[in-house]
Structure 1
Amino acid sequence: MRFGLGQFTLQIPPWDNRTHADLYADTLELAAWAEDAGFDSFWLAEHHGASDGYNPSPLPFLSAVAARTRRIELGTAVLLAPFHNPLRIAEDAAVVDNISGGRLNLGLGLGWAPEEYRMFGAEHKGRGKRLAEFAQVLKRAWTQERFTFEGEHYSYDDVSITPKPARAGGPPIWLGGSADAALRRSARFGDGYFPPSMSGYDSLPDLAQKMVSLRNDLNPNAPYRFGAFQNVGIGDDEDDAWRSIRDGVMHVRGAYMLWGQGARDVSGAREAAEPFEDQIRDGCIVGTPQQVAAKMRSSIEKIDTLGFDDAVVSVILAPPGTPAERAREAVDRFARDVIPALRS
């Protein structure tokens, strides 16, 4: 099992007085800090049109991370394919992969917020098939000198991209989603699978086993990866740990709730989530380093037995609004006190 940091959303909630220039600088510093601390990967999300500045452009940001790091892998979790041209993403991802020396992972998803689809004039119907074609176009663009693709949604005739990615075969493509069709799509066309970030941590081994079975049925013998994202708070006890991440986690969850209702202004997101605080807290792992390791250990051990070529648990230690110094302290504490316990 490898350990990542993020997914970072780069939202600025109302109580955070930083500008986005400030937040970007702090997050770039934190990525390098996490590499030095021993984390294996750094992940960034994408959404559009939110009043809190949710990150709209993961690949440009990851290019900056790539220039400041040397070892840590970089990933989108996820890039929203319906709002992009696959050939252009193939080019942009290849550039980032070359800057990073072959460290990019490209997670793709569908998105769901109605406002985003309206913004980009994207069709909601048929989006799953478009995502499958999107992944196929990327693979051909990265691995063939010239290629032709004739799909229902994307068509290219005798085209080529240069440069090719630094990593042989191109960045691994991770496909997310929760519906059965999404799981099958990932098993057939992807190199890895992300469950939704709000999936219950204890359910991950069963979901991982299901993905192994689907992969064996739909694309046997091909390398395959499994990743998950988990909110984690570390403190002197469980209540202290929850307080360290509470406001940021509540803002993110509340923002999703408001987006689902068609809202554009998410300044009241934290308050919107308060009726569900107990449920949201139950979905987080909080406690002392020893308690956190104990809560994470069983699922990690089960997933490690399933034979994935790569398995990653990425922890969200610094949700939106976390001061930079406290974020670095959380990274240090997890790297020093939790990761070694889980690897022993």
Structure 2
Amino acid sequence: MRFGLGQFTLQIPPWDNRTHADLYADTLELAALAEEVGFDSFWLAEHHAANDGYIPATLPFLAAVAARTRRIEVGTAVLLAPFHEPLRIAEDAAVVDNISDGRLNLGLGLGWAPEEYRMFRAEHKGRGKRLGEFAQVLKGAWTQDRFTFEGEHLQYEDISITPKPARAGGPPIWLGGNAEAALRRSARFGDGYFPPSSATFDTLPDLAANLLAMRKELNPEQPYRFGSFQNVGLGDDEDDAWRSIRDGVMHVRGSYMAWGQSARDVSGAREAVEPFEEQIRATCIVGTPEQVVAKMRPSLEKIDALGFADTFTSVILAPPGTPAERAREAVDRFARDVIPALRS
């Protein structure tokens, strides 16, 4: 089992007085610290047009992280495929993979916010099938000198991209989603799967086992990976730990609720979801380091025993609005007091 940091959204909620230049600098420092203290990967999410600056361009930022580090893997969780041209992403990802010397992971998703689909004039109908074709185009472009693809939604004839990625076969492609069709799409076309961060940790082993069975049915020859993202708060007790991440977690969840209603102003997002605080808290892992280890270990051991080629869990320790110094303390404490215990 490997451990990642993120997924970072790089939002600035109303109580955070930093500029995005400040936040980006702080986050790059945090990525370097994560590598130093023993994390294995760093992840970014993507959304568009939110008035809190939710990061819209993941690959440029990951290139900056790659340039600041030497070992830690970097990844998108997720890049929203309907809003991108596949060959452009194939080229951009290949460049980042070369900057990082083969450390890029490319998570792809569909998105769901109506405003984003309108903004990019993206077709909602058929988006799932198009995502499967998107993944196939990336693999073909990365692994073949000349590439032709004839799909229902995407067609390319005799194309070539250079440079090729540094990693043989290209960056692993992770496909997420909740629906049965999304799970089967990942099992058929993806190199790995991760669920949304709202999934409760104790449900992950059954989900992972189901996915591995699908993989053996749909694409048994290729190795398969499983990852997850989890909000984690560390403190002197469970209430103290929840307070350390509460405002940021609530802001993110409130943002998603607002976007589902076609709103892009998320200045009141935290307050909007206060009636659901207990349900949101239940999806997070909070407590002392010892309590967090006890809560995470059973699911991680079950997932590890299933036989995936690679597994990771990535922790969101510093949600939006977390002061830089407190974020560094949380990263250092998790690496010092939680990771070694879970690996022992």
TM-score (structure 1 length as normaliser): 1.00
SS across alignment from 2:338: helix
Render the CA deviation track for 1:100-127: whole Å, top value 9, x for unaligned: 0000000000000000000000010000
State the secondary structure of the residue aligned to 1:29: helix
Q: CA RMSD in A?
A: 0.4
Query: What corresponds to 1:308 in structure 2?
Result: 308
1:72 aligns with 2:72: yes
In 1, the alpha carbon distance for the partners of 2:95 and 2:58 equals 13
Matches of 1:263 and 1:82 in 2, distance apart? 20
Q: By how many angstroms is 1:151 displaced? A: 1.1
- The residue that corresponds to 1:125 in the other structure is 125
Query: In structure 1, the residue corresponding to 2:76 is in which secondary structure?
Result: strand
Q: What residue ranges of structure 1 are gaps of 5+ in the alignment?
A: none
| Amino acid of the structure 2 residue aligned with 1:114 | P
**Cross-structure match for 2:267:** 267
**Is 1:184 matched with 2:184?**
yes
Instruction: Give the match's secondary structure for 2:273.
Output: helix
Hey, what does 2:22 align to over in structure 1? Answer: 22
Q: For the residues of structure 1 that align with 2:283 and 2:155, how far apart are their CA atoms?
A: 42
CA distance in 2, matches of 1:264, 1:315: 26
Structure 2 residue 208 is matched with structure 1 residue 196: no
AA aligned opposite 1:222:
Q
Q: What is the deviation of 1:221?
A: 2.6
> How far, CA to CA, are the matches of 1:105 and 1:291 in structure 2?
31
Residue identity matched to 1:94: A
Please tell me whether residue 299 in structure 1 is matched to residue 293 in structure 2.
no
Aligned to 2:81: 81
Aligned to 1:216: 216
Matched residue SS, 1:170: coil
Instruction: Give the total of aligned pairs.
Output: 344
Partners of 1:111 and 1:205 in 2: CA distance: 25
Q: Distance in 2 between matches of 1:143 and 1:181?
A: 26
- Alignment partner, residue 150 of structure 1: 150
Letter aligned with residue 261 of structure 1? Q
Which residue number in structure 2 is paired with residue 241 of structure 1?
Answer: 241
> What one-letter code is carried by the residue in structure 2 that aligns with 1:273?
V
Matched, 1:228 2:267: no
Percentage identity across aligned positions? 84
Is 1:331 the equivalent of 2:340? no
* Counterpart residue number, 1:255: 255
Secondary structure at the aligned position of 1:248 is classed as helix
Residue 46 in structure 1 maps to residue 67 in structure 2: no
Shift of residue 264, structure 1, vs aligned partner: 1.2
Deviation at residue 262 of structure 1 after TM alignment: 1.0
**SS in structure 1 at match of 2:71:** coil
- Provide the C-alpha distance between the structure 1 equivalents of 2:48 and 2:7, rounded to a whole number of angstroms: 16
Partner of 1:60: 60
Q: Distance in 1 between matches of 2:264 and 2:22?
A: 23
The Cα offsets for residues 111-145 of structure 1, whole Å up to 9 and x where unpaired, read as: 00000000000010000010000000000000000
Q: Distance in 1 between matches of 2:88 and 2:111?
A: 19
Deviation at 1:251, TM superposition (A): 0.2
1:170-206, CA deviations, whole angstroms, 9 ceiling, x for partnerless residues?
Answer: 0000000000000000000000001122111100000
> Could you state the TM-score of these two structures normalised by the residue count of structure 2?
1.00
Distance 1:312 1:211 in 2: 15
Q: In the TM superposition, what whole-angstrom CA distance separates every residue of 1:131-176 from its partner, at most 9, and x where no partner exists?
A: 0000000000000001111111111110100000000000000000
Unaligned runs of 5+ in 2: none
Asked if residue 106 in structure 1 is aligned to residue 114 in structure 2, the reply is no
Q: How does 1:280-295 map to 2 (within 5 A)?
A: 280-295=280-295
The whole-number CA distance in structure 2 between the counterparts of 1:152 and 1:88 is: 19
- The one-letter amino acid of 2:164's match is K
Distance 1:325 1:146 in 2: 49
- Show structure 1 runs of 4+ deviating over 3 A: none
One-letter code of the match for 2:16? D
Q: Which residue of 1 aligns with 2:6?
A: 6
In 1: Cα distance, 2:335 partner to 2:247 partner:
23
